[in-house]
Amino acid sequence: MNLEILIGSIVRQTTVLIAQLATSGGARAPLAHIANQVFSDLARELERQGLSRVVTADLFGISLRSYQRKMIRLRESSSDRGRSMWDAVLQYLVSRGVTTRAEVLERFNRDPEPIVRGLLSDLVQSGFVFSSGSGAHTLYRATSEDELTAVRQSQAARGLDEFVWAVVYRHGPLAGERLSELVAVDDEQLATVLERLCQNGRVTANSEGGVTRYSSQGLFLQQGAGVGWEASIYDHFLALVRTICSRLEDAPDAREYAPYTGGSTYSFDVGPGHPMREEVLSTLARFRERASDLRQRVMAHNDAHGPPETVERVVAYAGQSVIRQFDEALERERADKENGEPDESS
């Protein structure tokens, strides 16, 4: 199979996940930095796998000089995530206090008016802006800068402890510098989170040779919790990626563990009234119960006898989704009618 086809398909599905995360729960996460981050992270990973900069540049289809210049430029601007138009409109409303729709449209007259109108509506629905009136004289008022900062800090802090915990558990022992690369928050905030995690026993800090490394012996994320679900998603995705990569590697360890690694995807076509529908739907619940019991027994043994000298961390991941099948053409036609789009055949 052409690897370009496979890579392109994986990229498309990953963008679906990113788009879903960017709009989850009414949020609008800035995406202006994504293209640069993908280039930078991919380049670093290729070099980490032993490819020279000449070969890496060739894979991107650019000269070595262009590649080096771009990497330098990205490192210099790595702390500037950029601003989306959504954020720019919001900041304008904050600076004005109270303003009319006509004034907003005039301020952003170089941008398509339907987009600006859509952003205003989105800001109102997201709760960042209040509106009153109608038409060109509609009034908009944003929260104050202090209130907006407090809201953003609160949103950013929610679930951060669990996320850092997951990163430390899966990648540790980790030095602070490496951890800050994996978790894109400022050093002061990261230090505060690590202090809390160490105090409550989730993470252990060990200093040797002037370097402090963080590790964790366990990760427990409450099922269905309203906080920390980001860590669960990261943990699931990491397990999936590592499982696939382990099958692609040709290292001695990979060959040794080949009979015990890999993944299988099973699909069951059932429906209301099917005699095995309940059995199919409850399969994941039974797997969780058995895996949780096994994990508790392994941990109890390790607590009593100490961890093995050579640790082999076995990661098992199982996911389940239910999809109602439908005729894609009919579904698209129905969506077009709902959106008021004309039929192409008319």
Work out the average pLDDT over 230-252.
78
pLDDT single digits (tens) 174-198: 888 888 888 877 788 888 889 988 9
Q: At what angle do helices 160-171 and 229-248 cross, to 10 degrees?
A: 20
Which runs of E-coded beta strand occur in 125-221? Answer: 129-132, 139-142, 174-175, 204-208, 211-215
Q: What is the reported pLDDT for 151?
A: 55
Which residues, including other chains, have CB under 8 Å from residue 335's CB and lie 6 or more apart? none
Domain boundary among 211, 235, 266: 266
Q: Are residues 261 and 181 in the same domain?
A: yes
Residue 45 belongs to some domain of the structure: no
Q: Are residues 146 and 167 in the same domain?
A: no
Q: How many residues does the chain have?
A: 346
Q: Are residues 224 and 187 in the same domain?
A: yes
Residue 133 has pLDDT above 90, yes or no: no
Domain boundary among 100, 117, 152: 152
Contact 85, 119 (CB under 8 A): yes
Residue 144 has pLDDT above 60, yes or no: yes
Tell me the CATH number at 138: 1.10.10.10
Dihedral sign computed on CA atoms, order 105, 110, 111, 113:
positive
Of 11-20, 132-141, 196-205, minimum mean pLDDT range = 11-20
Cα–Cα distances in angstroms (integers) from residue 284 to residues 165, 198, 280, in the given order: 25, 33, 8
Q: What is the reported pLDDT for 6?
A: 67
Residue 312 belongs to some domain of the structure: no
Q: Are residues 166 and 250 in the same domain?
A: yes
Contact 159, 227 (CB under 8 A): yes
pLDDT single digits (tens) 248-305: 776 677 778 877 877 788 888 888 889 999 999 998 889 889 998 998 899 899 889 9
Work out the average pLDDT over 324-340.
61
Range of the domain at 244: 158-266
Residue 213 belongs to some domain of the structure: yes
Residue 112 belongs to some domain of the structure: yes
Residue 238 belongs to some domain of the structure: yes
Domain boundary among 266, 286, 321: 266
Burial class (CB in 10 A: 0-12, 13-18, 19+), 157: middle
Q: Are residues 260 and 165 in the same domain?
A: yes
In the chain, how many domains are there?
2
Residue 220 belongs to some domain of the structure: yes
Q: Are residues 142 and 165 in the same domain?
A: no
Q: What is the reported pLDDT for 344?
A: 46
Q: Are residues 128 and 208 in the same domain?
A: no
Q: Are residues 94 and 179 in the same domain?
A: no
Q: Are residues 120 and 172 in the same domain?
A: no
Q: Are residues 131 and 175 in the same domain?
A: no
β pairing state of 204-208 and 98-100: unpaired
From 181, 206, 179, 207, select the one nearest 193 (Cα to Cα).
Answer: 179
Q: Are residues 234 and 253 in the same domain?
A: yes
Q: Are residues 183 and 235 in the same domain?
A: yes
Residue 279 belongs to some domain of the structure: no
Q: Using CA atoms, how far apart are residues 264 and 302, in angstroms rounded to an integer?
A: 30
Which residues, including other chains, have CB under 8 Å from residue 244's CB and lie 6 or more apart? 263
